[in-house]
Amino acid sequence: MAKLYINEKNKKGHINAEIYGHFSEHLGRCIYEGLYVGEDSDIPNVNGMRKDVVDALKEMKIPVLRWPGGCFADEYHWMDGIGPKENRKKMINTHWGGVVEDNSFGTHEFFELCEQLGCKTYVNGNVGSGTVQEMSEWVEYITFNGVSPMADLRKKNGHEKPWKIDYFGVGNENWGCGGNMTPEYYGNLYRRYQTYVRHYDHTAPIKKICGGPNVADYFWTEGVLKTCFAPPQPDEGQGTKGLMDGLSLHYYVHPEGWKIKGSATDFDDKVWYKTMAKAAYMEELIDRHGAIMDQYDPDKKIGMVVDEWGCWFTVEPGTNPGFLYQQNTMRDALVAGLTLNIFNKHCDRVKMACIAQMVNVLQSVILTEGPKMILTPTYHVFHMYKHHQDAELVDSYIEGNKTIGVEEEYQVPLLSESVSVDAEGYVNVTLSNLSVTEEVPVDIAFADLQPSQVTAAILKQEMHAHNTFEEPENVKEEQFTDYEINDGRICFKAPACSVISFRIK
């Protein structure tokens, strides 16, 4: 028996909606086919954007979308993706499958997509192979509301009004695919490039994201912060005061290591627990990178932006290895549940996170095949967690939570939880049972609250369960009614391999 104690009166911090963000790169079938099919497609679309996918993402309440990469960002030249489509340059996407990129999805299309989704925009600039001028002009093109060469070009291309960039990434993985730089070299480039990411609209300053570490590269975090840390300050139009609003972190779960990775659907209990333990490692990464950030930024003025995370398995048999297309099982759902609980509990430092990637690539929430679309188990977790967005984290603690796993190295807590109180006064509880076999009786006890309104949802299935185009609803969120309220406590059994969400008043 486990007891989940909740002190709903003890608010511990704001859960930024952006923690539930997504990432879309020009990679495989993410943008093309997955999101954008073009206006002439037989697949129902609005201005070229798939209607089924947009509707599903809105229902999931997508808060922010990062684009155009990833590694692609540091090879992307935005001017190739504007103007009449027939004149747009074609290029080879050297990173991802060596296919032809026809640039039919560019800046205008990205902002159209975000408008349809109703989400914030996170544009990632090119430091690795781009110039300061190119980056600076992109920002001018998108955001300047006046007379200027770039604003005039935007108008000529059919968009009179500027758009809003909420977040701007100055390069991507510049320790690797973004230029193989040292932290000091990148830190100095960051100082320079970000200077020209101008806030043309002073009422809506762009939040600048500095390229942070890969996994446990604490040397990078220290080196970059030492070189270019300066917290945000009220902008005076010069772009010189305060150099950053966030530092990124990338971490993927490869259960069998980076080289082998392992199948997305064919795994045993041992690999399940390895996967969970590797996902739980996110907490150590946040703590340790966070400790370095604390030395420079004790008031936590800049955010940790985990703008690439998720499971990275071997591609589905018969698919292009450069397209990173993988299935998504209950294992992915539990990784998502666990990771989102970790982010919620570290909302003092983690201000944004983007799961990689949104459609048809890595740990996607949506998979498509021609006109067909399926929602993955990970989608359902994001949907079940959506009430945490912009809510206040509150105190929670599980008594009697044991450790499970394999070998000494791969141990995880049996249950993972996080709890928030939202603007409507509801207490939102999300709880995952990471065991493959063990059902756990749970009692939820509150400090004061006497629950009178309770709604709950559950995602449960055996560990390999997933959705296919033939069986699209094999795994789906269901109403959960199997609980009792005794003496103000909510009592239920959390099935093995399940994610449960409660909304309580």
Of 356 and 458, nearer to ligand AHR (C-beta) is: 356
The span of 64-72, 430-438, 440-448, 454-462 binding ligand AHR (CB under 6 A) equals: 64-72
Helices (H), 144-205: 149-156, 183-195
In the chain, DSSP finds a helix count (H) and a strand count (E) of 10, 26
- Residue 172 interacting with ligand AHR (CB under 6 A): yes
**How large is the angle between the packed helices 377-384 and 330-345, nearest 10 degrees?**
30
Taking alpha carbons only, the member of 493, 491, 490, 496 closest to residue 427 is 490
Of 262 and 451, nearer to ligand AHR (C-beta) is: 262
Beta strands in 382-497 (DSSP E): 392-399, 403-406, 410-413, 415-421, 427-433, 440-446, 454-460, 478-479, 483-486, 489-494
The length of the chain, given as a count of residues: 505
Shortest reach from residue 127's CB to ligand AHR, in Å: 13
Beginning with the edge strand found earlier in the chain, give each strand of the sheet holding 440-446 in spatial order. Answer: 478-479, 454-460, 498-504, 427-433, 415-421, 392-399, 2-14, 440-446, 489-494, 483-486
Cα separation, 419 vs 385, whole angstroms: 10
Exactly one of 308, 332, 392, 443 binds ligand AHR (CB under 6 A); which one? 308
Encode burial over 80-108: b for 16+ CB neighbours within 10 A, e otherwise. Answer: bbbbebeebeebebebbbebebebbbbbb
The span of 68-76, 237-245, 367-375, 377-385 binding ligand AHR (CB under 6 A) equals: 68-76
- With 0-12 CB in 10 A as exposed, 13-18 as middle and 19+ as buried, what is 26? buried
The span of 69-77, 331-339, 340-348, 454-462 binding ligand AHR (CB under 6 A) equals: 69-77
Exactly one of 75, 101, 137, 173 binds ligand AHR (CB under 6 A); which one? 173
Of 154 and 250, nearer to ligand AHR (C-beta) is: 250
Annotation says 439 is catalytic: no
Of 173 and 245, nearer to ligand AHR (C-beta) is: 173
Shortest reach from residue 289's CB to ligand AHR, in Å: 17
The span of 237-245, 330-338, 355-363, 486-494 binding ligand AHR (CB under 6 A) equals: 355-363
| Residue 447 near residue 368 (C-beta atoms within 8 A) | no
What token pair was written down for 121? 């925009």
Exactly one of 48, 63, 69, 303 binds ligand AHR (CB under 6 A); which one? 69
Q: What is the DSSP secondary-structure string of 189-232?
A: HHHHHHHTS--SSTTSPPEEEE---BTT-HHHHHHHHHHH----
One-letter amino acid identity for 69? G
- With 0-12 CB in 10 A as exposed, 13-18 as middle and 19+ as buried, what is 39? exposed
- Residue 71 interacting with ligand AHR (CB under 6 A): yes
- Residue 74 interacting with ligand AHR (CB under 6 A): no
Range 24-53, binding ligand AHR (CB under 6 A) = 25
Cα separation, 34 vs 439, whole angstroms: 37
Of 367 and 414, nearer to ligand AHR (C-beta) is: 367
- Residue 209 interacting with ligand AHR (CB under 6 A): no
Shortest reach from residue 27's CB to ligand AHR, in Å: 6
Active-site annotation holder among 140, 173, 417, 477:
173
Cα separation, 502 vs 490, whole angstroms: 10
| Residue 357 near residue 172 (C-beta atoms within 8 A) | no
Residue at shortest CB range from ligand AHR: 70
Of 25 and 297, nearer to ligand AHR (C-beta) is: 25
- Residue 217 interacting with ligand AHR (CB under 6 A): no
Total residues binding ligand AHR (CB under 6 A) = 10
- Residue 357 interacting with ligand AHR (CB under 6 A): yes
Of 356 and 465, nearer to ligand AHR (C-beta) is: 356
Greatest alpha-carbon pair distance for the chain in Å reads: 70
Active-site annotation holder among 8, 308, 417, 477:
308
Taking alpha carbons only, the member of 248, 252, 249, 250 closest to residue 262 is 252
- Residue 389 interacting with ligand AHR (CB under 6 A): no
Site map for ligand AHR, 123-162, x if CB under 6 A? ----------------------------------------
> At 92, phi and psi to the nearest 5?
-95, 130
Shortest reach from residue 23's CB to ligand AHR, in Å: 7
Annotation says 308 is catalytic: yes
Of 161 and 259, nearer to ligand AHR (C-beta) is: 259
- Residue 356 interacting with ligand AHR (CB under 6 A): yes
Shortest reach from residue 173's CB to ligand AHR, in Å: 5
Sign of CA dihedral 375, 376, 379, 384: positive
Of 252 and 483, nearer to ligand AHR (C-beta) is: 252
Note the residues at the interface with ligand AHR (CB under 6 A).
25, 69-71, 172-173, 308, 356-357, 362
List active site positions.
173, 308
